[in-house]
Amino acid sequence: MNFVDRYNFKVVEEKWQKFWNQNKTFSTKVDKNKKKFYCLEMFPYPSGKIHMGHVRNYTIGDVLARYKTLQGYNVLHPMGWDSFGMPAENAARQNNLDPKTWTESNIKTMRSQLKKLGLSIDWDKEISTCSEDYYKHQQEFFLDLYDKGLVYRKENYVNWDPVDKTVLANEQVVDGKGWRSGATVERKKLNQWFFNISKFSEDLLQGLDSLENWPNKVKVMQKNWIGKSFGCEVEFKIESEKPIESIKCYTTRPDTLFGFSFLALSVDHPLAKYYEEDKEFQKFKEECSKTGTTEESIASAEKLGFKTDMIAVNPLDKNMKVPVYFANFVLMDYGLGAVFGCPAHDQRDLDFAKKYNLKITPVVKPEKDKDFEINNEAYTGEGYLYNSDFLDGLKVPSESIIKTIEFLEKSNLGTRKTNYRLKDWGISRQRYWGCPIPMAYDENDQPIKIPRDMLPVKLPEIEKLSNTGNPLDSEDNWKFFILDGKKYRRETDTLDTFVDSSWYFLRFCSPHNLDRGFTQEEANYWMPVDQYIGGVEHAILHLLYSRFFMQALSYKNDDFKLKEPFDGLFTQGMVCHETYKDQKNAWLSPDEVTSEDGKEFYKKDNPSEKIIVGPTESMSKSKKNTIDPENIIKSYGADSVRLFILSDSPPEKDVQWSDQGMMASFKFVQKLWTLNSKILDKIKNTDEKNTGENLIKFTNHLIYKVTYNLEKFNYNVIVANLYEMYNFLVKEIDKPIKKEVLIENYKKILVLMNPFIPHFSNECLSSINEDQINWPKVSKEDLVEEEINFVVQVNGKKRSVIKVKRDIIEKDVLEKIKLNQEIKNFIKNQEIKKTIFVPNRLVNIII
RNA sequence: GGGCGAAUGGCGGAAUUGGUAGACGCGCUGGUCUUAGGAACCAGUAUUGAAAGAUGUGAAGGUUCGAGUCCUUUUUCGCCUACCA
């Protein structure tokens, strides 16, 4: 290979990026004559530099955006920054600077890194959630929601993260720990603002059914999170010396009421107030709070109870009286914080009953006429009621539950109830670097809205962030203000940053609009997002909040009726790498290790020290198994990186970073360039006539395959298709081909490559003077091969492949086979019992 | 405990949706060449067998002319979720 022939990706990629930038190639606006396509990847948090996860996410999205553009769609493909949040605040404290400065500098770095990837982004639409132009509108939406009664304030127990010193929503507590800090979450009573997301529980659940282009996995996760159940609230009369008349329980199994053997309350139940003086109860309550939150401790936690003086009466049988306990397994968060215990048909109740020697009465048996008893396992299956007085014989669960509820309702002993696990969304955060909540309090501590003409409520500039508590709380100049002669105190909490990301996709429709967050015209044109692409880690949090936000904006609003923000969702896998540790058990980055054979690894700066190679895990700073995209792009070029990140695994699965794989993609682009030179030579020098059938057929088939695989997100298969294309073309180019045929088909092939390696493709296209490019169409006629490979099976096993004319009929195939020695050997002289003929595919001969 | 998904060569993974299993890439083996490079090119590479052939998609059954693909049972792994009444 001649040195001059080498593909200089650096020059070419810079050239095209400059071209796209100067020509605003990817800038879009509403055009009602064109079909729109809104392609959106989850916008990044500006943490410092981009990582391989970003490269994968944005490459997947970019391939789609470029493909849709080539198909003639009006494509909206924007980028922005989820730029409020804790890390900025922490970094600011550490380095003694302003969160804004830190954030903006990160954005600058990451923007330039993303641009080097050659993404087809309309950079004129760039937004940043920490800018006043953005959060002004957010404050307005907050007031809109407040006016619709979807925002309220209440004091209750909250999940308190002692490290981040802030409140967390239920969804943000993972295994009892803060989702970001990892600190064990404490319980604390605080006054908080809430979005009434639970009002939309049913709509959010129902809406899932309409999302056909979402992964089922994500829909199931949201469904479980919303946690709908159908049951009954039952009222139990209480006999006690205390002034307690009755206790209500929520149950999904009222049909097992005759198996009632105790009633259990959460230690946080309102009635606990009557026992708070009791030393024994205090001890018990403390014991409960000690129960760990790890998987094992929950699974193995012993059922504990505190027996009260209360006696509960079974509403179905006044003579059935059972003790009332406080129990450690009853949660105040779910239902009514009280459960009726039926040990025979609930494992927890059985464990509890055994421990405290309570009565165990089975009321469901699997078979009507057989005896049944309960030992160590509760029976939760289907069957028939017995030991249940007038309910005996009812089929469980189909008719037993509804019949029991009907009876309870008729007798005023209970009411049917649909229950949801989804709780309202607590949105107050005791942080500085977030969107100020546009509320204030008067001298009587009554909340008032900040008048809309005073928006945005801007964050004050703070020279030095305090180390404890909420920084805004100590900013007296900002905190207090006078309005109409009255003194007010501002709300000093800021909004959960998940609010910022709950409507940014709407802002992209009208990024520069001043008076509202978006215009009806633009939102109605662009929304919903046709394809949303991001990590599955947002399956519940971000995606549920965004769906809620759309519901909330549509609620009591005649102008805006969109309910689902994301029509299609694609969740991509993570980028993984081997992990390395030295002899002292310290993590090492891939840069710090070296290997001759790929099996034994040694430390670079100490070649005698052997490295322990650990399992392949998703890239993370803490394990040091990261690869810096910037270095990789510098060494190999954006096209090669894009190609590699798509090549080794299906996009929805994890992909393993491999240096050899990266190298292979790099070499492939180089080889394509060499091929390109050959083709250009051929175009100049060829004068063959009427040849090129092979190329036409091949290209046509390639268009079919690449298009099909693009629609199905099989990007890794397309990379393989492109390798096949190279292997074919590199041989074919030595044969005679008519000039026009070569140009026309090569052009189509270059367009097929365009979404994947756009710089290379554009460079080659311009060298054959093509700048107006469209996605090529498949010619259905040419897909049909005249001569096909036809499989001959004997007793279902492939024995031979013969070449036949297309649409050959069975009789002719059988004629041919008679002459085929291979097949004759298998059939010998045996009688053919039957033949199965699949047109244009195979024949199966049964002997 | 509950839910979802996966299992195919040494590795990552294909398979027109019930019809030629292993495309394509990595790795490996042999060879060619020389401007010794991050080379390039050619041939080979599921197992077994000298060959014909036989076997082969986690395991065991089943449906079918035909199963990686559908059904039943089972094992292992991954992810999510959890005292949810």
In this prediction the ipTM stands at 0.94
**Amino acid identity at A684:** K
Question: Of all nucleotides in the shown strands, which has a C1' nearest the CA of A298?
Answer: B83
Contacts of A283 (CB under 8 A, 6+ apart): none
Question: What is the reported pLDDT for A500?
Answer: 97
Q: In Å, how far from its chain's centre is CA A742?
A: 44
Scanning residues 610 through 629 of protein chain A, those with a beta carbon under 7 Å from any atom of strand B turn out to be none
Answer yes or no: is A575 CB < 7 A from strand B. Answer: no
Cβ atoms within 10 A of the Cβ of A479, count?
16
What is the model's pLDDT at position A297? 54
Q: Which residue from A319, A306, A310 is spatially nearest to A238, judged by alpha carbons?
A: A310
In this complex, the answer to whether residue A650 has its CB under 7 A from any atom of chain B, a nucleic strand, is: yes
Please spell the DSSP secondary structure of A227-269, one letter per residue: --EEEEEEEEEEE-SSS--EEEEEES-GGGGGG--EEEE-TTS
- Whole-number pLDDT of residue A760: 96
Nearest Cα residue to A315 out of A233, A398, A392 = A233
Judged by C1' against the alpha carbon of A801, the nearest nucleotide is B20
**Residue A329 approaches strand B within 7 Å at CB:** yes
Q: Tell me, in Å, how far CA of A669 is from C1' of B39?
A: 15
Q: Count of CB atoms within 10 A of residue A728's CB?
A: 17
Any strand B atom closer than 7 Å to A844 CB: yes
Q: Using CA atoms, how far apart are residues A77 and A121, in angstroms rounded to an integer?
A: 5
Distance A716 CA to B57 C1' (A): 21
- Percent of chain A past pLDDT 70, that is, above it, reads 97
The CA dihedral of A255, A258, A261, A266, to the nearest 10 degrees, is 30
* pLDDT profile of chain A (847 residues), mean per 10: 67 96 96 96 95 96 97 97 91 88 96 96 97 97 97 85 77 72 78 93 93 92 92 93 92 93 93 91 82 52 88 92 93 90 92 92 86 85 89 88 92 91 90 95 94 94 77 90 93 95 97 95 96 91 94 92 93 91 88 77 83 86 90 95 94 92 94 92 79 90 95 95 94 89 94 97 91 89 81 86 85 82 74 85 86
Residue A465 has a CB neighbour count (10 Å cut-off) of 17
Give strand letter and number of the nucleotide nearest A665 (CA to C1'): B25
Cβ proximity of A381 and A366 under 8 Å: yes
CB-strand contact A834/B, under 7 Å: yes
Contact A306, A282 (CB under 8 A): no
Cβ–Cβ < 8 Å for A118, A638? yes
| Strand B–CB A661 distance below 7 A | yes
Q: Is the CB of A229 under 7 A from strand B?
A: yes
Which single residue has its CA nearest the C1' atom of nucleotide B64?
Answer: A796
Nucleotide nearest to A635 (CA to C1'): B38
Question: Strand B: which bases are under 7 Å from protein Cβ?
Answer: 1-5, 12-15, 17, 19-21, 23-28, 35, 38-42, 53-55, 65-67, 79-85
What integer pLDDT is reported at residue A299 of this predicted model?
A: 55
CA of A725 to C1' of B13 (A): 19
Report the alpha-carbon distance of residue A410 to residue A413 in Å, rounded: 8
Q: Which of residues 131-190 of A touch strand B (CB under 7 A)?
A: 174-175
Q: What is the pLDDT of residue A600?
A: 76
Between CA A616 and C1' B12 the distance (Å) reads 13
pLDDT of residue A841: 87
Specify the nucleotide whose C1' lies closest to residue A648 (CA): B12
Q: How far is CA A18 from CA A13, A115, A116, A251, A612, in A?
A: 8, 10, 10, 65, 45
Q: Answer whether A378's CB lies under 8 Å from A346's CB.
A: yes
Residue nearest to nucleotide B39 (CA to C1'): A1
Q: Say what the pLDDT of residue A716 is.
A: 95
What's the confidence (pLDDT) of residue A300? 61
Residue A655 Cβ < 7 Å to strand B: yes
**Given this model, what pLDDT does residue A295 score?**
45
pLDDT at A408: 92
Distances from the Cα of A633 to the Cαs of A13, A493, A662, A666, in angstroms? 11, 42, 11, 11
| pLDDT (0 to 100) of residue A381 | 84
End-to-end CA distance of chain A: 58
From CA A203, how far away is CA A807, in angstroms rounded? Answer: 53
Cα A575 off chain centre by: 15
How many residues would you count in chain A? 847
Query: Which pLDDT score is estimated for A468?
Result: 67
Helix intervals (H) in A580-692: 629-636, 638-647, 659-685
pTM over 0.90: yes
pLDDT reported for residue A602: 85
Rg (CA), chain A: 34
Q: How many Å does it take to go from CA A667 to C1' B38?
A: 9
Q: Are the C-beta atoms of residues A78 and A40 closer than 8 Å to each other?
A: yes
Query: Does at least one atom of strand B sit less than 7 Å from the CB of A423?
Result: no
Q: What pLDDT score was predicted for residue A615?
A: 84
CB A540 within 8 A of CB A171: yes
CA–CA distance, A102 with A748 (Å, rounded to integer): 46
CB atoms within 10 A of CB A317: 13
Helix, coil or strand: residue A412: coil
Nucleotide with the nearest C1' to A300 CA: B83
Checking each nucleotide's C1' against the CA of A661, the nearest proves to be B26
Q: State whether the beta carbon of A489 lies below 7 angstroms from any atom of strand B.
A: no
Nearest to A695 by CA among A651, A652, A731: A731
Residue A477: how many other CB atoms lie within 10 Å: 7
At A726, give phi and psi (nearest 5°): -60, -50
CB atoms within 10 A of CB A534: 23
